[in-house]
Amino acid sequence: MQKEFTTKEAAEILGISDSRVRQMVLAGEIDHRYFGRVLVITQKGINQARIRQDKRTKLFRSDVKRAA
């Protein structure tokens, strides 16, 4: 069984706000499910968000190098 996290737990792991986690869910950027009325982020969703953060960081770093 896959590990699951609340939006608050996912936010702490990812270093972002819980509202940003919910925005990412609504945009379809991370894997999730509902347990009743509770939004639950799967481990797969956490991994997707980390990959997304890594890509953004790499793009930002390459832009900074070009500007220098």
Tens digit of each residue's pLDDT (9 = 90 or more) over 24-68? 999 999 999 999 999 999 999 999 998 888 876 665 556 555 655
Round to whole Å and give the CA distance between 23 and 53: 15
Distances 34 to 12, 19, 58 between C-alpha atoms, Å: 19, 16, 32
State the Cα–Cα distance between residues 58 and 55, nearest whole angstrom: 5
Helix (H) / strand (E) containing 29: none
The C-alpha angle with vertex 58 and arms to 55 and 60, in degrees rounded to 5, equals 110
pTM over 0.85: no
Q: What is the pLDDT of residues 2-34, one digit of tens each?
A: 799 999 999 999 999 999 999 999 999 999 999
